[in-house]
């Protein structure tokens, strides 16, 4: 039996990983098992071996060709995982790089992953800005809420292209302040 492949995306600081973990716990309690893989971690393992970076937040500053090579390596690593497993792929619709937005799922990545659903975790840009300011564990980009809003808009636009290419559905999950449980409910619905 083919497992379900769900790609979960959202701008840095929106709380993707938190929502994913909550939804996985909820589903596990119902006997629905998902594995979660972090696309950036796959890339980071390769980048570390090549001594390209020492921090995962440095990868988006690398040259475009390096980023695309790491991206390709991550996509084939993830595609090699069991086709029977239900998989959540924690990644980005687009990456904000110094040279502009880079597609998180360009055609050669989509061909490997062929997701059933692409989820966009979103919330109010001011809330994202505050979450970034409060997160000392990551080297988040310093940008204003207008720029964050523009990034979220671009992510929706490019997700439409992913739907055109694969026939996947696109689901928006709002992760608003104080409403994490609602976001978890919404993601769990997509996963069931
Ligand atoms: P994250 O921990 O999800 O913020 O991801 C860390 C870093 O991994 C991001 O800042 C990107 O540099 C890289 N990354 C993650 N997913 C992708 C992707 N699909 N394509 C290109 N780079 C990615
Ligand atoms: Mg994360």
CB atoms within 10 A of CB 177: 12
- The single-letter DSSP state of residue 3 is P
| Burial (0-12, 13-18, 19+ Cβ within 10 Å), 85 | middle
Beta strands in 50-155 (DSSP E): 86-90, 94-97, 100-103, 117-122
- C-beta 132 within 6 A of ligand 1: no
Distance 92 CA to ligand 1 centre (A): 6
Atom of ligand 1 nearest to the CA of 62: 12
CATH class name, domain 5-36+85-191: alpha beta
pLDDT tens series, the chain, 192 aa: 789 999 999 999 999 999 999 999 999 999 999 999 999 999 999 999 999 999 999 999 999 999 999 999 999 999 999 889 999 999 999 999 999 999 999 999 999 999 999 999 999 999 999 999 999 999 988 899 999 999 999 999 999 999 999 999 999 999 999 999 999 999 999 999
- Nearest-angstrom CA–CA distance, 109 and 113: 6
Rg (CA), the chain: 16
Q: Which residues does residue 95 pair with via DSSP β-bridges, in sequence order? A: 102
């Amino acid at each position: 039996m083919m497992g379900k492949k769900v790609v979960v995306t959202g701008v840095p600081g929106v709380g993707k990983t938190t929502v994913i973990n909550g939804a996985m716990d909820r589903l596990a309690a119902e006997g629905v098992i998902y594995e979660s893989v972090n696309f950036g971690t796959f890339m980071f393992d390769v980048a570390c071996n090549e001594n390209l970076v020492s921090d995962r937040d440095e990868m988006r500053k690398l040259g475009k060709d390096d980023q695309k090579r790491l991206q390709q390596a991550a996509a084939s690593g993830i595609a090699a995982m069991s086709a029977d497993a239900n998989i959540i792929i924690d990644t980005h619709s687009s990456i904000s790089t110094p040279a502009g937005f880079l597609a998180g799922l360009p055609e050669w990545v989509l061909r490997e992953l062929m997701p059933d659903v692409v989820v966009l975790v979103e919330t109010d840009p001011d809330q994202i800005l505050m979450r970034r300011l409060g997160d000392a564990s990551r080297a988040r980009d310093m940008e204003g809420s207008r720029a964050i809003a523009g990034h979220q808009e671009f992510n929706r636009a490019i997700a439409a292209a992913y739907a055109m290419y694969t026939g996947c559905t696109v689901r928006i999950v709002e992760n608003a302040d104080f409403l994490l449980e609602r976001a978890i409910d919404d993601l769990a619905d997509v996963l069931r």
